[in-house]
Amino acid sequence: MITVGIIGATGYTGMELVRILLKHPEAVLAYASSRKWSGQAISDVMPHLHNARDLVLAGFDAQEAVSAAELFFVCLPHGESMNISADLYGRGKKVIDLSADFRFRDPVVFRKWYGEHTQPELLSEAVYGLPELYREEIGGATLIANPGCYPVSVILALIPLLEEGLVSLDSIIADSKSGVSGAGREPKPNLHFPEVYSDFSAYSIAGTHRHIGEMEQELGRISKVDVKLTFTPHLLPVSRGILTCIYADPSDYLDEGSLVELFRERYSAEPFVTVRDLDGSLPGLKEVCGTNQCILAPRYDERTGKVVVISVLDNLVKGAAGLAVQNMNLMFGFTEDMGLNDLPLYP
């Protein structure tokens, strides 16, 4: 049994971690912080977690935190996370940071997308927490940079194509649609119900979304040369889930059967990536919401010669809290899927 803590437990990723960890057979949630609701029981602030009666939220105090737990999930906004994560890490604790603060290897690239980094020396120590690429390093890591939700959906859809050098690296398009919880729980006018409900729009287009830097870094590491990505995110009027559609130009002729087989082989040992066969239906968000699964459907458009890959996942689970627990399982030598085998609610 290990003891774990959550910093920022009342946000969307924090409360999803509480939900998953309460059922985890090897982890005890021993510390949970909040500024606004300090002193209140988790079950009072988040009534859907009615079985979390015994844990009281605390205003963050580093000394109190480190005496309560050995691993911390830091679920704060980027920029807020780096100092608290560095403090916990400096006091000998394992840290899984869900923000973007440790996802970049190069502080100059971090500055371009997010601003100044106050702990640049830690960037080289953090391991990018995507087990499908870095399982071994995650097992030995003490500081994990949990990936962004869009990047997980895009990178998983491209790994087999890039590892085999099958597509041009200057014309990949990722067109993603995300549920509103992807923007966090802090109220913003454009996220209010009357603005989002029954509407659908793109945002941060033409190379401006911050996740592009992270995606290009990781796609470049796979390809060993620079990759330029056209990324268009959209806001869907649903609570959770991301559907990404990738369009790429194959470097040579591809037949659809071999394409699907390539994906199946690459992910055959992965507990949380499922590949849809040609005779299977195309995946929708309801098949993954509440689960740690990413479902991929690779296809080939004979008419235009494009590879098309559909990727679906739950931004709060495989795109955040579930992936963080998968990383925790690897760091502590637990079975990788421990506590993560929930089926989706359907319909």
Ligand X SMILES: NC(=O)c1ccc[n+]([C@@H]2O[C@H](COP(=O)([O-])OP(=O)(O)OC[C@H]3O[C@@H](n4cnc5c(N)ncnc54)[C@H](OP(=O)(O)O)[C@@H]3O)[C@@H](O)[C@H]2O)c1
Q: Binding string, 137-176, against ligand X, x = CB under 6 A?
A: -----------xx---------------------------
Q: Where does this chain touch ligand X (CB under 6 A) — which range of 12-20, 192-200, 214-222, 268-276?
A: 12-20
Binding residue for ligand X (CB under 6 A) from 5, 14, 151, 339? 14
If the CB atoms of residues 248 and 317 are measured against ligand X, the closer one turns out to be 317
Pinpoint the alpha helices (H) of 143-240. 149-163, 193-196, 211-223
Per-residue x/- marks for ligand X, 44-83, CB under 6 A? -------------------------------xxxx-x---
Q: Is 11 in the site for ligand X (CB under 6 A)?
A: yes
Q: Which is nearer to ligand X, 298 or 322 (CB)?
A: 322
Among 4, 12, 123, 291, binds ligand X (CB under 6 A): 12
Give me the least distance between CB of 201 and ligand X, in Å please.
18
Distance CA 343, CA 32 (A): 26
Eight-state DSSP code of residue 317:
I
Burial class (CB in 10 A: 0-12, 13-18, 19+), 150: buried
Strand ordering across the sheet containing 71-74 = 27-33, 2-7, 71-74, 94-97, 143-145, 127-128
Q: By C-alpha distance, which of 343, 345, 340 is closest to 21?
A: 340
Closer of 32 and 331 to ligand X (Cβ): 32
Tokens matching residue 96: 């899984």
Q: Is 249 in the site for ligand X (CB under 6 A)?
A: no
Rounded CA separation 102/110 (Å): 9
Instruction: Give me the helices (H) in 81-148, please.
Output: 81-90, 107-114, 131-139
Is residue 10 part of the contact set for ligand X (CB under 6 A)? Answer: yes
> What does the CA dihedral 36, 31, 6, 322 come to, rounded to 10 degrees?
-130
Nearer to ligand X, 147 or 160 (CB): 147
Q: Does 85 bind ligand X (CB under 6 A)?
A: no
Q: Locate 89 and state its tokens.
A: 């890490």
Bridge partner residues of 301 (DSSP): 306
Contact pattern for ligand X over residues 300 through 319, marking x by CB under 6 A: ---------------xx--x
**Binding residues for ligand X, how many (CB under 6 A)?**
28
| Closest residue by beta carbon to ligand X | 11
Q: Residue 307 Cβ, how far from ligand X at the closest point, in Å?
A: 27
Please answer whether residues 176 and 148 qualify as being in contact, where contact means their C-beta atoms are separated by less than 8 angstroms: no
Q: Pick the closer one to ligand X by CB: 73 or 334.
A: 73
Active site residues: 149
Choose between 241 and 298: whose C-beta lies nearer to ligand X: 241
Burial (Cβ within 10 Å: 0-12, 13-18, ≥19) of residue 293: buried
Q: Which stretch binds ligand X (CB under 6 A): 9-17, 154-162, 168-176, 201-209?
A: 9-17
Q: How far apart are the first and last CA of the chain?
A: 36
Residue from 172, 173, 163, 168 nearest 263 by CA: 163
**Binding status of residue 250 toward ligand X by CB under 6 A:** no
Residues that bind ligand X (CB under 6 A): 8, 10-14, 34-37, 75-78, 80, 98-99, 148-149, 181-182, 184-186, 315-316, 319-320
